[in-house]
Amino acid sequence: MVDITDRKILSILQSNARVSHAEIGEKIGLSTSAVNRRIKILEQDGVISGYAAVLDGKKMGKGASVFVQVTLKTQRKPQLDEFERAVATTPEVVDCFLMTGEMDYLLRVVVQDAADYERVHHETLTQLPGVERVMSQFTIRRVFQKSGL
Amino acid sequence: MVDITDRKILSILQSNARVSHAEIGEKIGLSTSAVNRRIKILEQDGVISGYAAVLDGKKMGKGASVFVQVTLKTQRKPQLDEFERAVATTPEVVDCFLMTGEMDYLLRVVVQDAADYERVHHETLTQLPGVERVMSQFTIRRVFQKSGL
DNA sequence: GTTGAAACGCCTTATAC
DNA sequence: GTATAAGGCGTTTCAAC
């Protein structure tokens, strides 16, 4: 379904979603309308789920990422659902994965600094429903990110 | 520098970078040109660092995320730099953080499935320069992601 | 069925207020 | 910050392969 040409288009769109269809066509050797039609199909199929502005957290006072390992009291479905609903409404949590292994969830929390994280930690994270234990790992620096996946 | 109005604009652009300036203006009660001028300034100041297409990994045969904790043999700057340069060229690694605590780096690796990860693990990750130990944590499901930070 | 070309309409951008 | 005007781009339609 997604062929080589599609992947080239997707690769360009990952690094810059604002390049014109004409410019994409030049780079990969395709006409503007062909590029346009392929992108439209990729959007309809849900391969492209959306377009997002990439922000610089530091310039908004949100320069620190903290990884948070969460263990719940039980692993029963209703409790998982309840936790997931609650954590989704926490603005500082920008990523949430259900995990294998010792911890149940891995979150990435974006805050201003360590003091700001302390606030989020005891005001929000430890108050989420069903939480037994919270383990935090601070990042020093984001080396890179490849947006889009 | 970034006021409430800017934050409203950024919030809209995070969830959908394709809404027109006119539509943003309607939502927050501002004229099209005012929205345009603010966005331009946010781009110039680097608050908005870019725009990216958000892809559905599953539909591209890249549905599984694995978190990888990497410990290096030394923590001296040249070795860190060398590792960072090498890991940046590994296509499966979509995120890389320098960490505090026991491990040196935390990577997020996107692969097709466990078998695919095994390949990346012994062909690439363990071959990166200066790597002493690699610890993998598999995800079951991505609960959500808030794009842009 | 897929590609290339042209007309249309909307969005971005720039100027003036 | 608002209003208006012009240019560029995405969109759509149609013809050709």
Average pLDDT estimate for B55-79: 95
**Which candidate from B15, B53, B101 shows the least CB-CB separation from A13?**
B53
Pick from A35, A48, A51 the residue to mutate for testing the B interface (most B CBs within 10 Å). Answer: A51
Average pLDDT (B44-73) is: 95
Q: What pLDDT is recorded for position A28?
A: 93
- pLDDT at position B128 is 98
Q: What is the CATH number of domain A64-138?
A: 3.30.70.920
pLDDT value for A1: 81
Asked if the model's pLDDT at residue B148 lies above 90, the reply is no
Residues 19-58 of B with CB under 7 A from strand C: 20-23, 32-33, 36, 39-40
Averaged pLDDT of chain B: 96
Mean pLDDT of successive 10-residue stretches along chain A, which has 149 residues: 92 94 92 95 94 94 96 96 98 97 95 97 97 97 90
Tell me if A97 and B143 make a contact (CB, 8 A cut-off): yes
Report d(CA B132, CA B129) in Å as an integer.
Answer: 9
Give B76-124 as a DSSP string. Answer: -HHHHHHHHHHHHT-TTEEEEEEESSS-SEEEEEEESSHHHHHHHHHHT
The strand pair at B93-99 and A131-145 is best described as antiparallel
Is residue A101 less than 8 Å (CB to CB) from chain B?
A: yes
Do A64-138 and A4-44 have the same topology in CATH? no
**Domain boundaries in chain B?**
4-44, 64-138
Q: What is the pLDDT of residues B124-136, one digit of tens each?
A: 999 999 999 999 9
pTM equals 0.91
For B4-44, give the CATH class.
Answer: mainly alpha
**What's the pLDDT band for B74 if we cut at 50, 70, 90?**
very high
- A33 CB inside 7 Å of strand D: yes
What's the rounded Cα separation, in Å, for the pair B16 and B56? Answer: 15
